[in-house]
Amino acid sequence: MNNHDNTLSEFEILKNSDLTPHNIKDLQRKDLDLLPMIIYLEENKLPNLQKEARKLLLQAADYLLINGVLFHSSVKKKSRRASNLDNFQLVVPRLMRNLVLHMCHDSPLGGHSGIKNTIDRVREHYYFSRLSTIVSEYVRTCHECQIRKTSSVHTKAGIISFPTPSAPFHVWEVDLCGPFPLSSAGHSHIFTAVDMFSKLVFAVPLHNCDALSVCHALFQLFSSYGVCHTLLSDQGSEFISKGTKELCKMLEVSQEFTPSFAHHCLGTCERSHRTLEERMTPYIRKGRPWNDILPAVIFSMNSCTNAATQYSPFEVVYGNRPQFPLSTPHDLDLRDIPKDIHVYLKQMQQKLNTIRKEVQINVEKANAKMVERVNKTTSPLKLSIGDYVYLHDEPTGQGQKLQAKFSGPFIVDNIPSPHLIKIRDPEKTSEDFECLYT
Structural fold of domain 14-147: Endonuclease III; domain 1 (1.10.340)
pLDDT at 337: 61
Q: Where are the alpha helices (DSSP H) in 162-289?
A: 211-225, 237-240, 242-250, 267-285
CB 187 within 8 A of CB 208: no
pLDDT exceeds cutoff 80 at 215: yes
294: Cα within 13 Å, side-chain hemisphere? 21
- Per-residue pLDDT band at 47 (split at 50, 70, 90): confident
pLDDT in tens, 387-437: 888 887 777 777 777 788 888 888 888 887 767 788 888 877 655 555 655
- Per-residue pLDDT band at 328 (split at 50, 70, 90): low
- Residues with Cβ within 8 Å of residue 360, at least 6 apart in sequence: 164, 166
Dist. CA 1–CA 143, nearest whole Å: 7
CB 366 within 8 A of CB 358: no
pLDDT exceeds cutoff 60 at 330: no
Find the mean pLDDT for residues 207-228. Answer: 92
Dist. CA 58–CA 116, nearest whole Å: 28
- For the chain, give every domain's residue range: 14-147, 171-375, 387-436
The answer, as to whether pTM is greater than 0.75, is no
Give 5 or 239, the one with higher predicted confidence.
Answer: 239
Find the mean pLDDT for residues 185-193. Answer: 91
Find the mean pLDDT for residues 187-212. Answer: 92
Structural fold of domain 171-375: Nucleotidyltransferase; domain 5 (3.30.420)
Find the mean pLDDT for residues 218-230. Answer: 92
Q: Partners of 164 in the beta sheet?
A: none
pLDDT at 1: 45
For 405, which DSSP code? S
pLDDT in tens, 155-178: 777 777 778 888 899 999 999 998
pLDDT in tens, 80-130: 555 555 678 889 998 888 888 988 898 888 888 889 999 988 988 899 989
Q: What is the overall mean pLDDT for the chain?
A: 82
Instruction: Go through the chain and tell me how many residues it has.
Output: 438
Evaluate whether 14-147 and 171-375 have a shared fold: no
The residue type at 250: M
